[in-house]
Chain A
């Protein structure tokens, strides 16, 4: 069966510090992968999606970037965090349905 992992579960970072969130999927090959964010009081927003290794599509202009160095690994990064980057970050993979990971709660102070 397929599983999706995210880490860390919770992160508190100072403004201006770098960020790296990791997502890995097991039990499937060549999945579509997604990064979403839910900011406080807002809906779930798609940030990036990837249909294959090295292929990244950005949905909204922002302070973040994504990379897919391996088939089942998706990384969300920032060089310098902003206060507005705080939120709940979800990774997902899909066939017909999207399956979400456990999420990372990021607080930027």
Chain B
């Protein structure tokens, strides 16, 4: 089972600020890295799946990078908006059965 760590645990930013957070995982036995956005009282929403070292994915103002050699992924949000407020979950899988081990998440609060 992968040990997935996320930092920071929580983050408060002002509307318009750009921000980023980290997901780290063991670089050995790695298969794929998933990012999810989880709003209160809703189910987690898939953002990105990345498998290759150097992968970069983008969805609107949100982007992510992957470094499998050193075992980390960054999630970036450009020009944060209040509706970006959510918990951002990172999950790693060590095999093709798509079984994920999640970090504890980063709780982002964007103040208007």
Closest 4 CB pairs of A and B: A43-B104, A100-B43, A94-B98, A44-B102
**CB of B94 within 8 Å of the partner chain:** no
Q: Is the CB of B105 within 8 A of A98?
A: no
User: Quick one: CB contact mask for B18-53 with A, threshold 8 Å, 1 for yes?
Assistant: 000000000000001010000000111010010000
13 contacts between A and B (CB under 8 A): A42-B104, A43-B102, A43-B103, A43-B105, A46-B102, A49-B97, A59-B1, A90-B43, A97-B34, A97-B46, A98-B91, A99-B46, A100-B43
Residues on B lying within 8 angstroms of A by beta carbon are 1, 32, 34, 42-44, 46, 49, 89, 91, 97-105
Shortest beta-carbon distance from A36 to chain B in Å: 8
CA distance in complex: A100, B87 (Å): 15
Shortest beta-carbon distance from B51 to chain A in Å: 9
Q: Is the CB of A101 within 8 A of B43?
A: yes
Shortest beta-carbon distance from A77 to chain B in Å: 21
Residues on A lying within 8 angstroms of B by beta carbon are 32, 34, 36, 42-46, 49, 51, 59, 90, 94-103
Interface of A, secondary structure class, is: strand
Q: Is the CB of A96 within 8 A of B98?
A: yes
CA distance in complex: A102, B43 (Å): 5
Shortest beta-carbon distance from B27 to chain A in Å: 21
**Nearest B residue to A60 by beta-carbon distance?**
B1
Q: Is the CB of A100 within 8 A of B44?
A: yes
CA distance in complex: A36, B36 (Å): 14
**Nearest B residue to A94 by beta-carbon distance?**
B98
Known: A42-B104, A59-B1, A90-B44. 10 other contacts (CB 8 A): A32-B97, A34-B99, A44-B44, A44-B89, A44-B91, A46-B102, A97-B49, A98-B91, A98-B100, A102-B42
The residues of B that contact A99 with a CB separation of less than 8 Å are: 46
Shortest beta-carbon distance from A101 to chain B in Å: 6
